[in-house]
Chain A
Amino acid sequence: MKWTIHPAKLLLTLVALPALLIPALALGYIVYQGGAVISWQFISTSAELSGFGASSGVFSQLAGSLLLAVGACIVATPVALGTALFYQLSNNSRLCHHLELLIYLLQAVPPIVYGLFGLILFVQIFSLGVSLIAGMLVLAMVLLPMLTLNNITSLQRIAIEQTDAARALGLTESALVLRVWLRQSRRELITGQLLAIARALSETAPILFTATVFSGVVWPDSLLSPVTTLQTHIFYLAQEGNHPQSIDVAWGSALVLVITIVLFSLLARALKPSGGNL
């Protein structure tokens, strides 16, 4: 009955439906294609070194992705937290203003540009080569702005009365930070880390030239050896794999990657004290 009263609503529904259906169908398609491929064996074994990656098993890729993402998060966290604390402790509002603008600018820089930067600085000038550590550093730079913004919001949620009460007791700045701020916002800070890991898992461009190789690596020996990741695995298979089996592996890898990312985001959501934005 609603529909007859408001033809405008009908029109809106017609425009909105593709916007809602296409992403849902896309997700369904990944699950359909990937679901046919993945099995416990697919996730828990590594492909043989020979061949064109057509032999299935993405364990080393999954491990490589996680290693890079978690490593990047570990590198980025102290810097992000320090910057957020600087923002919160500083009395200089002009400086904070500029810092905020700067973080927004850094956030807008395309990931591939970070990749280029990493290629110049880490891979070539520091001669780390195409390596795990170079990839971690580049990804850490990609994560830095979002982590910093997240940490700032987490710290801002702490009631001003708590800060005043702690200060009034004569707590030093470091005691205030450690015993009040970090303690009270730890859940939100951890949420931020999980979201950052999810974000790092979804980035391909920055690690394409800095950290990964297509095949030949099962497990990196050290921080200085290259890795294989799910993201680049999918990329190479999609691009060059011509026989159907490798495309199947690509779909399977895509589903594994999507599931991993969704798990991290859902975990972050579950930990978040109150619901809210992404």
Chain B
Amino acid sequence: MLRLFIHSSAWLSFSGLLLLSGFLLYASWPIFSEQGLYFIAESEWYPYEDLFGMLPALFGSLLSVGVALLIALPLGVAAALFNIEIVPSCLQPWLRLLMELMAGIPSVVYGLMGLWLLVPFLEQQLDLLTGRTLLAAALLLSVMVLPTIMVLSEDALRKVADDQRQRANALGLSWWAVVQRILLPQAWPGIRLATLLSLGRAMGETVAVMLVIGSIDRLPEPLYNLLQPAQSLTSRIGREMGEASVGSPHWSALMSSGLLLMLMSVAVVLLSQRRWFK
């Protein structure tokens, strides 16, 4: 009885990824068979003319996530160090609790804040036609992943053995040297893991990005321009899924965006878990 239950649930879990990729492939098959694979690298997305270039959304996803991590990573690690090294120890758990609770705040609430706080702010400050830009998405994402990065980096930093630090102190190393030569290098694997984890999370983030990114399928001009409306894979799926009729090329192109997104996040995990492939 128990064996049967245990085995069937394990097989259900085992089949999860297979089912996911299988059904997504099944749903996006029409677009692959019709247009081959190179539509992924094209830059025109006009569903009504059967043009399904993935490049703008792919680029938007990568750029927004990249910028978000560039902002959040140093801030998050600094905050973790700050919490461990400078904040008095009676306050540390409270700060951590705040961060853990922040990590649990739903993305739609961040989206609401982004749309009605960040976007108007950007419009005013940068004198933009619309604040719904790649920059808004990147800033919002960075705020969203900050708590995660901080909590995980703090765990990694705390794991650095106390005796190592004491030995370093005994050697007369300055505080900064201890941080630089002992703490950060030792905690680096954990921080790397935190980065990759938040990378995956940010890449798959949907509603918050969708509310602030502007949803215009165009490559920015020039490419590094963050102040134009853009599109990400997730925001496109979220925005257009409701309109696309089931089974149409449009529908299946959106499904293939989902498949692409899944493959990208799977790749990130495989990168982060390299120890499995020794």
- B-contacting residues of A (Cβ < 8 Å)? 6, 8-9, 12-13, 15-20, 22-24, 26-27, 29-30, 78-83, 85-87, 89, 97, 99, 101-114, 116-117, 119-121, 124, 141, 144, 148, 173-174, 177, 198-199, 201-205, 208-209, 231-232, 234-235, 238-239, 247, 250-251, 254, 257-258, 261-262, 265, 275, 277-278
Contact = CB atoms under 8 A, between A and B. Distances in A.
A262 B75 CA distance: 24
B79 interface: yes
24 contacts: A6-B175, A16-B83, A18-B75, A20-B82, A20-B95, A22-B143, A23-B146, A83-B12, A86-B9, A101-B276, A104-B269, A106-B17, A108-B266, A110-B205, A112-B234, A112-B258, A112-B261, A113-B204, A119-B241, A121-B23, A235-B207, A238-B108, A251-B112, A277-B155
A105 B150 contact: no
Contacts of A103: 13
A66 to B, nearest CB: 14
B203 interface: yes
Interface in B128-160: 143, 146-147, 150-151, 155
Give the top 3 A-B pairs by smallest Cβ distance, nearest first. A110-B204, A82-B9, A16-B82
Interface string B240-251: 011000100000
B68 to A, nearest CB: 13
B99 interface: yes
Interface centre among A22, A141, A247 (most CB of B within 10 A): A22
B206 A148 contact: no
Interface residues of B, number: 86
A261 B104 contact: yes
B24 interface: yes
B9 A261 contact: no
A12 B109 contact: no
A251 B112 CA distance: 8
A203 B205 CA distance: 10
B101 A265 contact: yes
A235 B262 contact: no
A247 B234 contact: no
B103 interface: yes
Contacts of B179: 8
Contact of B175 (A9, A29, A117, A257): A9
Interface centre among B2, B200, B205 (most CB of A within 10 A): B2
Nearest to B200: A108
A22 B146 contact: yes
B102 interface: yes
B42 interface: no
Interface in B155-178: 155, 174-176
B203 to A, nearest CB: 7
Contact of B111 (A116, A173, A238, A278): A238
Nearest to A238: B112
A19 B151 contact: no
B7 A120 contact: no
Given A29-B117, A112-B258, A201-B106, A23 B143 contact: yes
B85 interface: yes
Contacts of A144: 13, 16
A238 B104 contact: no
Contact of A83 (B9, B23, B265): B9
Contact of B78 (A15, A113, A265): A15
Interface in B73-119: 74-76, 78-79, 81-83, 85-86, 93, 95, 98-113, 115-117
Nearest to A79: B9
Interface string B119-130: 000000000000
Contacts of A251: 112
A86 B10 CA distance: 6
A174 B6 CA distance: 10
A34 B84 CA distance: 33
B238 A265 contact: no
Given A101-B273, A117-B24, A257-B106, 4 more contacts: A19-B79, A82-B8, A109-B204, A201-B106
B26 interface: yes
B5 interface: yes
Contact of B74 (A13, A15, A239): A15
Given A20-B82, A23-B98, A29-B113, A82 B24 contact: no
